Structure formats: C-alpha cells, structure tokens
Amino acid sequence: MNKIKLYLQETVAELVHKVSWPTWEELQRSAVTVLVASVIIALIIWVMDQASNFVLSTYYHLFD
C-alpha cells in the first residue's frame, strides 16, 4: 500500500512542479490549428470520394 501512496505522491508532484502546461492562448491556438487541419483533411477525403464515385459511376454506366 505504501508503494501506491508513494507513486501517487510522486505523480502529483511531477504534474504540479515539473510539467510545463500551455497557456490559455497557446491552448486555443493549438485547438484552432487542429480544427482547421481536420476540416481540410475532411474536405480532401470528400473530394476524393466524390471523384471516385463519379469515375466508377461513369465506368459502370458504360456496361449497362
């Protein structure tokens, strides 16, 4: 039980004193970057899906 207590105390001490947490502005900037990147990747995937759908539909209609 003492090992668990020591582990938890050391974990809290490290999180409070050794970890450098981002500022609120840095956190917001990072969140916006992730959001923009996610939207761009989603749009790229959507365009690829639409293009493959068009190509395959055209190909399949050739043999109807």
pLDDT of residue 64: 79
| b (16+ CB within 10 A) / e for 48-59 | eeeeeeeeeeee
- CA 38 remoteness from chain centre: 7
Q: What pLDDT does 10 receive?
A: 96
List per-block mean pLDDT (blocks of 10 residues) for the chain, which spans 64 residues: 95 94 97 98 98 97 89
Spell out the domain ranges in the chain. 21-64
pLDDT of 14 reads: 94
